[in-house]
Structures are given as C-alpha cells and as structure tokens.
Structure 1
C-alpha cells in the first residue's frame, strides 16, 4: 500500500508538470518557432534522461531503436499539432482539448481492434463531444484553427497510447521511453531546418526557462516517472489523477498568463471533463469496492 501511495503522489507531480506545459509552450513560442521548440524540448529531454539512465542505453538493441523511431515519430506528430494549436488558442482550451485522447482511445480501439464500446464509455464520449461544442464553437458555428489542431493532437496522442501499449510488450519500456524522446527531438529539429523556420536557441531568460521546463520536467521526468509509477498503482487511480491535467492547466494559465474563459467555456470544459471521467473510470466498481472495504474495516 505504501508503494501505491508513493506512485500516486509521483503521478500527481507528473500531472502538475504536464498541466503547466501549455503555459510553457506559449512562453517558448514567443521567441522560437514551433518545430524548433519541439526539437529542443525533446532533445533536452533525451539528453537529461539519457544521462540518468545511461546504463540502459548501453544495452540497446536494434528492435528497441526501431520501435523508438516509430513511437518518436507518432509523438512528434502529436506534439506538432498541440504546439501549433497552442500558438492560436488559449492554454486553458488546449489543456481540456488534449485530454480528449482518453476519449479517442476507446473509439480507435473499437474501429481498428474491434473492441466493443460499453454504455458507460458511449455516454462519456457523448458528454465529451457536447463539451467540445460548448468550449470551442463560436457564435458563427465555427471552430478556430488552434482548437482544431489541439483536437488533432489529442487524436494522435491516442494513437501513440495504443501503439505504445503494443510495442512495450516486446522491449524494455524504460529504454524505449528514452529512445522515443531522442527520435521526437530529431524529427522536430529536422522539420525546423527543412521548413521556413529559423532554427535557433532561445534568446531570452523566459524562453530558456520555458524550454528547459518543457524538456526536463514535462518530458524527461514526466514520461519516465509515468512509466515507473503505473506499475505500482491501479488503472482507476491513474485515470482519476490524469483527469486533473486540464484543471491544472487552467490554474497555471490564470496565474501566469491571466487567462479566463467565458461562462459557456467553463460549462463546456466541465462537461468535457465529466465525459473523460465517465469513459475512463467505472464509478460503480469504485463505489462497490469502497463499501466493501468499509464493511471489512468495520468488522475488524
């Protein structure tokens, strides 16, 4: 039990890092371009994680490198959409829209893996899409480019989750996690060089803080700690903790950027979050387990 509590606390820290990442992306994009930011973020993450777990990298095989390249590319695509989306929407909106990955996973599983969608998940999906409408659609019934890109980013992150679940069964998950960061950084820097961007290092203290925070805390520590922590806790706990990410994003966006949402936006965000929670967590099982535990404790 003590190990589970530690794992849950570690994941809360990860969620705080990830919730803050949307603000740091906005800060970084003030002085450097999107692909450049992605390249630097994941290159720093790879170097930081690689230095800590260098013994793992010394034992790499071709299969891990190949799988790392695949995952790194999907991760790069996901964060490309998210990063460019953040550039033209609020950090608050981005946080909620990216959480849609939880909704897209069962939809993609149903389409490609022929897994059945139960009533609870279908209800959660309906709630989430209602929330999206309230959060993103304006009076002209249009969705802005940044919101659309963040939704695409969530879709590709769902693909990343499914591909990761398959590939980690065949190689060491921690080694794979580190290698994917290197490839994501490589694809980002190459895209920056071959595009019309000016590939450069950050030119201000705020930009350096943003890039280093994204690279070290949000990526290197975040992805590594998530991999380790999920071995020692339950899927229900994981789902509950990760559902807090958009809430953390709103808090950071308000405190550091002064962002607020309209009443309709807050309503949409709340409904979207409810949809994510309903689709991810079987509350009936949680309640039954809680009452059963209480009954056992009362007997003792």
Structure 2
C-alpha cells in the first residue's frame, strides 16, 4: 500500500467517524452507552465473521491477547464518546475529539519520536481552525459532556499508538476482527451488570435499527478494519493529522442532514474560516517544505567545501 492509498483510506475512515456523530445523536436518550456499544460492535462482529470466516483459523494466542487489549481501550473510549455526544452539540464533540492532534505527539515523546517542524506548524494551524469552527470560547466552563469527550480523546490517542505498534507485527485483519469481537463481549458484560434484561428492554423502532446498522457497518466494521490496514503503513501522527479534518465533515453533515438525524447546526463565516485553517494545517503537517529549506543551504556549503 502506498502513502497516497493509505491517506485516501484514512480520509474515508474520517468520513465514517464524522458522520457517526450525527447518527449517534438520533439514538433514543434511554439507550445506554453499554447497549449502544453492544449492539453496534455485536452487529459489526457478525458482519466481519461472515465475510472473513475462512481467516479465523489463523488466529493465535498473541493476536487474541493484543486484540483483547485493544478492545478494552476501544470499549471505554466508545462508551465515553457516546456519553459525551449525547450531552453536547455534534460539532463541539468533534472538536474535542480532534484534540488528539496534540495528545498523540505528546505521547510519542515517551518513545523518543519528535514531530517535524511541518508537523508542529500544522498542529498549531489546525488548533486555530478547530477553535474557530467549534464555537468553544476561552473560559467556557467544562460541562460533563466535554469531560467525557476529553477522556475519549485521550483513550483514542493511546489506542492509535497501540494499534501502530501491534499492526507492524501482526495481521491487521485479524486484529480488527478480534478487537471488534472482544469489544462486543466486554460491552455486553457491562450492559448485563447495568440491566440484566438487556435486549428485552430495548424499543426496536425503525429509526433505532437504521441508525444502529449504519453505525455498525460504516463506523465500526469498515472503519476499524481499514484503520488496522492503514496504520500498518502510516505513522500515528499521520493518522491523527488526517483525523483532525473530522470536524469539517461533521460541521457540513450537521447542516445538510435533516433534523431527524440530530440537531441542526448553523453554518457561519467563522466556521468556514475554521474549516479552511484545518485543511491548510493538515496539508502543512503532511508535507516537509520547512525541512527542505533547511537542507538547501547545507547542501550548498558542503559543495563549496
């Protein structure tokens, strides 16, 4: 897989995750985070097991162990995400989720991996764009939904780094299938502890079923399998930079998709300016023109000597 192909796949994943904020908004308020995750991850697991049934024989103890570890992180992340999105506007939730553009580089410092000058400049531009497009103001009190999303953001950064390490040594497909299966099991256990009757208490309306299927197929089954593959060839920072464009997609979808699928949000000039900055920052972080400028004088000096 080339870098361009990996970036295209990562952007398609971002599109799936950005749209998920809108569809999660349409889930009934009484549906708990555990129930949501059990149903979406469970349905995604069934889809993946059917499609990749012949590959199940390739599982081994190491892949299962790493899949379980990734599932534990992902399970808690998605639960916090569901609780956060239910409490705050979709665009604000998407803004907070994109803050892993800062958290991932900080965590990578523990592994002695420093961002380039282009990465740092791009991150600053993206943060400026995020601040404009989200509508979050300095000094604004932290709501419970924001705290949930901050927790989800940190866990997602940890998940991205763990995925990067695991996919370099193991089959991405098996890791994706395994983690989705374990996520469904873990969330069902938590749901059972919260409400022993689980599925019997759910009101299965057409709207609920439609949204659960959309979330299971696109934001779970497709997105996480393709994330495994793309991270085998991309760095954690590249994944984070592309994912930072998520608020742009969420903002557009929140305006275009009818109110049935969430709360309608207005599109303003300030939000448009923020979207332009996010896109510009992503381009800046994904290139290396600052490093090339530094290399040219050095090359000239060495030639004169």
**Which residue matches 2:93?**
94
Q: Is the 8 A contact 2:164 2:231 kept in 1?
A: no
Q: CA deviation at 1:231?
A: 6.2
Q: CA deviation at 1:255?
A: 2.1
**Which residue matches 1:247?**
248
Q: Return 51-60 or 278-287, whichever deviates more.
A: 278-287
Aligned residues: 286
Q: CA deviation at 1:45?
A: 1.1
1:196-232, CA deviations, whole angstroms, 9 ceiling, x for partnerless residues? 6973345211111111111112110122233345668
Alignment map for 1:19-38 (pairs within 5 Å): 19-38=18-37
1:72-112, CA deviations, whole angstroms, 9 ceiling, x for partnerless residues? 001112111111100011112222321222331111111x2
Q: Distance in 1 between matches of 2:114 and 2:4?
A: 32
**Which residue matches 1:297?**
none
| Gap change, CA 1:216 and 1:188, over 3 Å in 2 | same
Q: Is the 8 A contact 1:81 1:152 kept in 2?
A: yes
Alignment map for 1:136-147 (pairs within 5 Å): 137-138=136-137, 141-147=140-146
Q: Is the 8 A contact 2:125 2:280 kept in 1?
A: yes
SS state at 1:225 partner? helix
**Which residue matches 2:286?**
281
Unaligned runs of 5+ in 2: 294-305
Q: Distance in 2 between matches of 1:210 and 1:229?
A: 26
| Gap change, CA 1:107 and 1:267, over 3 Å in 2 | farther
Q: CA deviation at 1:268?
A: 8.9
TM-score (norm 1): 0.79
**Which residue matches 1:209?**
210
Residues 1:116 and 2:114 aligned together: yes
TM-score (norm 2): 0.78
Q: Distance in 2 between matches of 1:159 and 1:139?
A: 26
SS state at 1:15 partner? helix
**Which residue matches 1:47?**
46
Q: Is the 8 A contact 2:83 2:148 kept in 1?
A: yes
Q: Is the 8 A contact 2:104 2:237 kept in 1?
A: no
1:116-165, CA deviations, whole angstroms, 9 ceiling, x for partnerless residues? 34444444455555566664645863122222322221111010011111
Unaligned runs of 5+ in 1: 289-300
SS state at 2:271 partner? helix
| Gap change, CA 1:10 and 1:125, over 3 Å in 2 | closer
Q: Is the 8 A contact 2:126 2:282 kept in 1?
A: no
**Which residue matches 2:301?**
none
1:30-64, CA deviations, whole angstroms, 9 ceiling, x for partnerless residues? 45111110111111111111111112212211111
Q: Distance in 1 between matches of 2:107 and 2:237?
A: 20
| Gap change, CA 1:285 and 1:202, over 3 Å in 2 | farther
**Which residue matches 2:227?**
226
Q: CA deviation at 1:242?
A: 3.9
For residue 264 of structure 2, the aligned residue among 241, 250, 259 is 259
